């Protein structure tokens, strides 16, 4: 039977319960003979190394630490191994190991130094104990199992960064050992080996992964499973990028590139034996064994360009500039030769084609040694002024975008640097090899997390992502959330737009969520609300993990509107039906518009006039295409349209107002409608779109609210509303006698004359033929002079207003994705 190799790390065997889980996993995976490579129990190797350090330092605490470790290991035997005979045998062996360890530690105490072979012997006991514990448990479970001490078969020579395997010797040893055994399950000690003289040694950092790869090669395994505590290799560090995804597959080259940059993949050097034999490696989760994991093999056929994004912090960039470097052969050789002699590891190199400068990146701990090496190599040039600069920039990070399938695909670099630009990350240096497998940049460490999130979202959200915050959950806001709950999930497939509502706010409280909120029962989120803070709300919505951010202001608050310019400057787009910003002080309105233009932000407010009707868009199109607008007039209030369409004398006017409020057709305070100020605001907004500097005070408003009712509270006003009934009945009677209808109309002309008030129109006039909540706007322009352009349709109600806001949101996504 062929072999399948499994490797389990320390977290997978941290306790007796976890050993039992490992046994369950290997039984579930058992189709071929299984070689199970194990690390020491979590924390044991570190504890053994600490014992050596304490003893060498003549710190008496090593004795109590040894006793504690002794108790821990023997307790695990008692918890895990059911067979008394097997348990007794293990205890006997482990007692001998602890006696040997105590002898070695006593010798180190006397020597006050640590020979390498002594450290290797002691630090390797963790794997020896771990392998025997698992093998004994497998035997308890009725499996045909045994264990092997890798020090008896694996022979290595010293090497950097890891020892070199003596393949012929090791192959002969394992073949001989296998020739005498027929067990289906063989548990192998990871991390440990022996040198050519049979002296115990270790495989160094990531040694157990290396052991798995080595034994995979020695056994000609069909697959190597590396079992960890994650579901596979992630597209980015999930602690930094919440939206990181598990990669289905990747090539050996991609795995090596990402591993170098700190991604949770097995170390490049440990993969070499598997790569040489073309053995697929799977990264899987011990605690979620059913997950498919990540397959690492010679080719990734997924076709997707970038595969992963990773960062390395703690770097320093050295920049060398000078005229003597231009066109002079051997400069790079002298520079990097000097660095090599100083033992400096160069992580990245970047040089412009002018050859005037060359920069390289090293670990920050080697920055000073690097500068000394440069100054030594170019002492004469520095003395003569031919090299002007040797600059050290600390606090740097390298960010790498990795993927075999990036090669030859136009636009990868554009998207990469576009995402960084959008996140306002400054790039200090760039490097890319001719294989196009890796694009690396140097950035400031303080921008590392932001850059990582921005680049990841640019490539891995798939759809165009929008971080959405909604302010105001009243009638319009709540209806918008209902519409988003129903339709937003479908937009990913339909138009490639992913709307992530991550924040909701009212005037008193707000709720924030790192991931997209479920909007089906959005009210439930307020159970964990915090006090409302508009600045903190905006900071949260503008996240680096989603490419774009938008705040939708569904309030009627002037205080909220005063934040628009600041939010736009932060890179947050604005969508709003709130009329305050566009109808209050002209200078602030102009400032908001100017900021939007300067930062290339989008400020969309179609629903401030006419709810979901394309009134503002129509006017903008007329102006932008060069038409001269002579006059704009219309019925701009769906509320007042409803009132005067319904007011036929059969009911008192006050009763119709209360019905309209109940239906959500009026503002929270109906006087905003009846006073004519709501229409006046809309008229100001349109006048400003025509290029006029109209202020609200410039509009001549004849409202329907008498002075004695204007100073009351809302409840008091609603109670006193019947006082309007007689006056309104008289006006209706007069209009009916004249064969006309009552309509509340606003009008503004090219000279800035603006009026709002109740007017009479013949029933045959377009304004006389409207229905219920219709808005109707008539544009008289140079092109539409004899036959004015008319836009008509429902202009009130939460559904149409929310629908108009939703339409602006989709329009924004289309702008951003263009």
Catalytic residues: 682
Beta bridge partners of 467: 500, 549
Residue 545 DSSP label: T
Residue 497: its H or E element: strand 497-505
What are the Cα distances from residue 417, in Å, to 401, 511, 668?
11, 33, 47
Three-state DSSP at 124 gives coil
Instruction: Give the contacts of 99 (CB within 8 A, at least 6 positions apart).
Output: none
Phi first, then psi: what are they for 697, rounded to 5°? -70, -15
Burial of 113: CB neighbours in 10 Å, binned 0-12, 13-18, 19+: exposed
Q: Which of 464, 261, 260 is nearest to 270 (CA)?
A: 260
| H, E, C per residue of 336-391 | HHHHHHCCCCCCEEEECCCCCEEEEEEEHHHHHHHHHHHHHHCHHHHHHCCEEEEE
| The two three-digit tokens of residue 715, written as one number | 């409840």
Classified as helix, coil or strand, 535 is: helix
Cα–Cα distance measured from residue 212 to residue 214, given in angstroms and rounded to the nearest whole number? 5
Reference 362, options 352, 353, 375, 371; nearest CA is 371
Q: What is the DSSP letter of 234?
A: B
Would strands 464-471 and 740-749 be described as parallel, antiparallel, or unpaired?
unpaired
HEC assignment per residue over 271-309: HHHHHHCCCCEEEEEHHHCCCCCEEEECCCCCCCCCCEE
Q: How distant is the alpha carbon of residue 742 from its chain centre? A: 56
8 A C-beta contact, residue 335 and residue 374:
yes
Return the SS3 of 588: helix
Q: Coil, strand, or helix at residue 50?
A: helix
Beta strands 572-575 and 357-363, pairing class = unpaired
Strand pairing report for 548-553 and 572-575: parallel
Q: b/e per residue, 160-192, with b = 16+ CB within 10 A? A: eebbebbeeebbebbeeebeeeebebbbbbbbb
DSSP state of 631: E
Three-state secondary-structure class, residue 529 = coil
Total Cβ atoms within 10 A of residue 109: 17
Task: Write 556-563 long-range contacts (CB < 8 A, 24+).
Answer: 556/472, 556/580, 556/667, 556/668, 556/672, 557/472, 557/507, 558/584, 559/534, 560/471, 560/472, 560/534, 562/588, 563/534, 563/535, 563/538
Backbone phi and psi for residue 551, each to the nearest 5 degrees, phi listed first? -110, 130
Q: Are 236 and 449 in contact (CB under 8 A)?
A: no
3-state SS assignment for residue 716: helix
Separation of alpha carbons 436 and 432, rounded Å: 6
Instruction: For the chain, state the CA radius of gyration.
Output: 37
Cα gap 721→725, rounded to integer Å: 8
What's the number of CA atoms in the CB half-sphere (13 Å) around residue 100?
Answer: 14
Name the burial class of residue 335, with classes exposed (0-12), middle (13-18) and buried (19+) by CB atoms within 10 angstroms of its CB.
Answer: buried
In this structure, what DSSP letter does residue 41 have?
P
């Amino acid at each position: 039977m062929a072999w399948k190799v499994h490797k389990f790390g320390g977290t997978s065997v941290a306790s007796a319960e976890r050993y039992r889980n490992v046994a369950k996993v290997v039984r579930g995976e058992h189709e071929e003979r299984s070689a199970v490579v194990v690390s020491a129990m979590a924390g044991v190797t570190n504890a053994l190394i600490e014992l050596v350090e304490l003893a060498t330092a003549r710190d008496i605490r090593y004795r109590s630490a040894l006793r504690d470790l002794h108790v821990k290991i023997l307790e695990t035997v008692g918890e895990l191994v059911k067979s008394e005979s097997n348990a007794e045998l293990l205890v006997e062996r482990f007692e001998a190991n602890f006696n040997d360890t105590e002898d070695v530690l006593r010798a180190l105490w006397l020597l006050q130094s640590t020979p390498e072979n002594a450290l290797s012997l002691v630090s390797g006991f963790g794997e020896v104990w771990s392998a025997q514990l698992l093998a004994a448990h497998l035997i308890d479970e009725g499996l045909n199992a045994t264990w092997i001490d890798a020090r008896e078969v694996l022979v290595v020579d010293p090497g950097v960064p890891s020892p070199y395997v003596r393949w012929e010797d090791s192959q002969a040893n394992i073949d001989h050992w296998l020739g005498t055994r027929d067990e289906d399950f063989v548990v192998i000690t990871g991390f440990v080996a022996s040198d050519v003289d049979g002296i115990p040694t270790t495989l160094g950092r990531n040694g157990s992964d290396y052991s798995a790869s080595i034994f995979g090669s020695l056994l000609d395994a069909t697959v190597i499973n590396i079992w960890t505590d994650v579901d596979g290799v992630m597209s980015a560090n999930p602690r930094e990028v919440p939206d990181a995804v598990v990669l289905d597959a990747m090539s050996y080259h991609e795995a090596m590139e990402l591993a170098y940059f700190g991604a949770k993949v097995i170390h490049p050097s440990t993969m070499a034996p598997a790569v040489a034999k073309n053995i697929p490696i799977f990264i899987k989760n011990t605690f979620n064994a059913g997950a498919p994991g990540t397959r690492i093999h010679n080719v990734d056929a997924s076709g997707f360009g970038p595969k992963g994004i990773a960062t390395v912090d703690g770097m320093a960039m050295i920049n060398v500039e000078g005229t003597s470097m231009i066109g002079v052969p051997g400069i790079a050789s002298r520079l990097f030769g000097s660095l090599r002699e100083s033992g400096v590891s160069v992580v990245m190199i970047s040089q412009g084609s002018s050859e005037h400068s060359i920069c390289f990146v090293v670990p920050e701990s080697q920055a000073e040694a690097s500068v000394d090496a440069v100054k030594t190599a170019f002492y004469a040039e520095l003395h003569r002024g031919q090299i002007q600069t040797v600059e050290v920039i600390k606090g740097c990070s390298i960010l790498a975008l990795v993927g075999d399938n990036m090669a030859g695909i136009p636009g990868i670099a554009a998207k990469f640097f576009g995402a960084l630009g959008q996140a306002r990350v400054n790039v200090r240096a760039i490097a890319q090899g001719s294989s196009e497998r890796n694009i690396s940049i140097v950035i400031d460490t303080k921008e590392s997390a932001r850059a990582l999130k921005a680049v990841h979202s640019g490539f891995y959200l798939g759809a165009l992502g929008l971080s959405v915050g909604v302010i105001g959950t009243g009638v319009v806001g709540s209806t918008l959330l209902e519409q988003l709950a129903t339709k937003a999930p479908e937009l990913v497939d339909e138009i490639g737009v992913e709307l992530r509502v991550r924040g909701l706010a009212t005037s008193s409280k707000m709720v924030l969520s790192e991931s997209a909120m479920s909007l089906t029962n959005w009210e439930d989120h307020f159970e964990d609300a915090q006090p409302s803070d508009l600045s903190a709300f905006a900071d949260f919505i503008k996240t680096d993990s989603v490419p774009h951010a938008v705040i939708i202001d569904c309030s009627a608050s002037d205080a909220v509107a005063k934040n628009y310019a600041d939010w736009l400057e932060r890179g947050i787009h604005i969508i709003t039906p709130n009329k305050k910003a566009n109808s209050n002080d002209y200078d602030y309105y102009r400032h908001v518009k100017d900021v939007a233009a300067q930062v290339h932000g989008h400020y969309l407010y179609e629903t401030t006039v006419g709810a979901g009707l394309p009134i503002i868009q129509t006017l903008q199109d007329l102006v932008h295409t060069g038409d001269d607008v002579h006059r704009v007039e219309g019925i701009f209030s769906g509320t007042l349209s409803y009132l005067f369409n319904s007011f036929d004398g059969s009911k008192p006017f006050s009763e119709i107002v209360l019905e309209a409020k109940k239906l959500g057709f009026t503002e929270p305070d109906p006087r905003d409608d009846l006073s004519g100020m709501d229409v006046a605001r809309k008229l100001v907004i349109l006048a400003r779109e025509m290029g006029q500097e109209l202020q609200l005070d410039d509009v001549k408003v004849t409202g329907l609210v008498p002075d004695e009712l204007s100073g009351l509270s809302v409840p008091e006003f609603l109670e006193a509303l019947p006082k309007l009934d007689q006056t309104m009945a008289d006006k209706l009677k007069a209009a009916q006698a004249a064969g006309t209808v009552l309509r509340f109309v606003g009008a503004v002309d090219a000279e800035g004359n603006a009026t709002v008030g109740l007017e009479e129109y013949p029933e045959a006039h377009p304004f006389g033929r409207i229905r219920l909540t219709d808005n109707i706007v008539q544009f008289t322009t140079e092109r539409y002079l004899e036959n004015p352009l008319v836009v008509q349709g429902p202009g009130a109600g939460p559904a149409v207003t929310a629908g108009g806001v939703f339409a602006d949101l989709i329009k924004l996504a289309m702008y951003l994705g263009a």
